[in-house]
Structure 1
Amino acid sequence: MPPELYWKSMLPNTPMPKSISDVLHSSAGGHTTMHAKYDHYMSAAFQQYAGGVFIIYDEPETQLQHNPYASLIFLEKDLKPAHKMNLFFTNTSNQACVLPREVVKSIPFSSSKMDEILGKFSVKAGSTEAEMMKNIIKECEESGLKGEEKYCATSLESMVDFITSKLGRHVEALSTEVMKKKETKKQEYRIMHGVKRVGEANLVVSHKLSYVYAVFYCHKMESTRAYTVPLQGEDGSRVKAVAVCHTDTSEWNPKHLAFQVLKVKPGSVPVCHFLAQETVLWVPKQTPN
């Protein structure tokens, strides 16, 4: 069964978000190549992630402006109409395609079989791409934070299975969508009326990782709230943004990018971030009152 049909059979009442359908359509024919571009922020070890994949930031403060995800972090108290933020919604360079589950089953995904994995995709040991793949597999194998359930889905089918096992089949899948007039750039955005809380505590976020084929890092977290946020840029561009707020950051590394940006300490205030465009938020569907 093709991945799209599996989605429809398991989640018949859940429209597929653009972030997923775009990846499926771009992978027609199933040819897989390693994306050569090296993105320092995406391939570094990702601990205490948010929005995209964030590194433990241990560089001078002057370098914060060069991190494309730094602008997406904010405080929950600022989530109100008319508030203005300088934001940069990057266009993803991660075009890794989705492979059917039956194909993925024949491909190792283990630190103990790195030589075999690299050989299968003709990736040179010691190269940037090899280190990127090694770091991702290593992080996928490590245990999650306190109160977090994590899972690296190597196919769309396995991601759907994880979601339904945690949230059931009556769910919404939401992604940030940028309706841009011109090339995406960092600019001032105004929060418009219509901010909506779409989930609390019982939610899952799936990040698409920079791997040789599509791998989704999914984690179910406690102490969270999720919102949809309409934004309008100074050039007229509109964004249907998805935001997640972490209400308990006491277990986070003090060097997390969020604390560098917001000038706050772990566990002090809720930390929020807009989700990158290739990330999916899963929440139980809200029943009408």
Structure 2
Amino acid sequence: MDRFLPLLSVLAILLQLAVGVTHAASPSELYWRSVLPDTPMPSAIADLIKHSTNVGKELALSHPAVKPMATSSKLRSSFFLENDLHAGAKFTLHFTGTGSRPSLLPRQAADSIPFTNTKLPEILARFSIAPGSREAKAIETTLEECEEQAGYRQIKKCATSLESMLDFTTSALRTRDIHTVSTKVGKEDSPEQQYSVVGVRKVTGSSDWVVCHVQPYAYTVFYCHTKGKSKAYMVSMVGVDGTKVEALAVCHDYKEGSNPKILAYQELKGKQGTGNFCHFQPQDNIVWIPKS
């Protein structure tokens, strides 16, 4: 038996090395830990990192493998009023899941790629996207939205990497003492069904907070912006098939005189004056809130 001990020791060391390689943190994960050491990474981001293509700097400079087109997970539902958000309320919702995972590029790779409409032909050529195609139009629209001037008392940024998103969020909120909230669904792609609310918890206070949405693009781009008077809630719900959901709901103060083009205004204009307009967020939208 003794003669096998050295061999067993070697195997144990090799096993430890293999486990270490398997669980080696990416540059984005390491940056998260350095900036927000006391904030758990939300599953929406952890899943992106897990499923992202391993794109190195050399590959990103030439032709990154970042298809399919990055789009946000979807949530088909109607807008509702804040007063209707209470235990016992029922909503018919369809959480469509995050689908095919796009690549979340590390900052060094993302910063090497042009991100402006003036370089649209170069961007399309880099990712072999045909001009005039649906994908090309989606990229152009995202760049236009990212280059629009921020609204009154609003700060915004399109973050092309996790590192960039962290820098913007901590700068906009003027703190690193932050926690995150996002929608969590028990099933990856649950069917459209009726959900019953079993609990509601407000997650925002009086201070500003930030929300980030995934934009349609050749790789993951988060459109992040500050929110002031809006409110956010975590809503515990159970579907008729037993699916449990912790849904993030955002409520806006759309009073008389609001932009009539806003979908919520169109759907609820007959109920003005009875409360803020709310809607649930899909799984990959993230809200960042100062802890204090």
Provide the TM-score with structure 2 as the length reference.
0.81
Mark the runs of 5 or more structure 1 residues left unpaired by the alignment. 43-51, 53-67
Asked if 1:17 is matched to 2:65, the reply is: no
Is the CA contact 2:69–2:217 (under 8 Å) kept in the aligned structure 1? no
Q: How far has the Cα of 1:82 moved from its partner? A: 0.9
Q: Which residue of 2 aligns with 1:47?
A: none
Q: How far has the Cα of 1:132 moved from its partner? A: 0.6
CA–CA distance in structure 1, aligned partners of residues 210 and 216 of structure 2: 19
Q: Which residue of 2 aligns with 1:189?
A: 195
Mark the runs of 5 or more structure 2 residues left unpaired by the alignment. 1-25, 56-63
Percent of aligned positions with the same letter in both sequences?
42
Is the CA contact 1:23–1:95 (under 8 Å) kept in the aligned structure 2? yes
- Counterpart amino acid of residue 67 in structure 2: M
CA–CA distance in structure 1, aligned partners of residues 257 and 36 of structure 2: 34
Is the CA contact 1:254–1:266 (under 8 Å) kept in the aligned structure 2? no
Provide the TM-score with structure 1 as the length reference.
0.82
Q: Which residue of 2 aligns with 1:140?
A: 146
Count of residue pairs the alignment pairs up: 257
Q: Which residue of 2 aligns with 1:113?
A: 119
Q: Which residue of 2 aligns with 1:33?
A: 66
Q: 1:135 to 1:183 in 2, by over 3 A?
A: closer
- Counterpart amino acid of residue 81 in structure 2: L
Bigger Rg over Cα: 2
Q: Which residue of 1 aligns with 2:21?
A: none
Q: Which residue of 2 aligns with 1:208?
A: 214
Is the CA contact 1:206–1:280 (under 8 Å) kept in the aligned structure 2? yes
RMSD: 2.3
Q: 1:264 to 1:17 in 2, by over 3 A?
A: farther
* Equivalent residues in 2 for 1:82-231, closer than 5 Å: 82-93=88-99, 95-167=101-173, 168-180=175-187, 183-193=189-199, 195-200=200-205, 201-231=207-237
Is the CA contact 1:118–1:124 (under 8 Å) kept in the aligned structure 2? yes
Is the CA contact 2:201–2:235 (under 8 Å) kept in the aligned structure 1? yes
Q: 1:141 to 1:94 in 2, by over 3 A?
A: farther
The 10-residue stretch of structure 1 (149-158 or 261-270) with the greater mean CA deviation from structure 2: 261-270
Q: Which residue of 1 aligns with 2:18?
A: none
- Counterpart amino acid of residue 146 in structure 1: Y
Q: How far has the Cα of 1:36 moved from its partner? A: 5.5
Q: 1:94 to 1:173 in 2, by over 3 A?
A: farther
* Equivalent residues in 2 for 1:251-270, closer than 5 Å: 252-264=258-270, 269-270=275-276
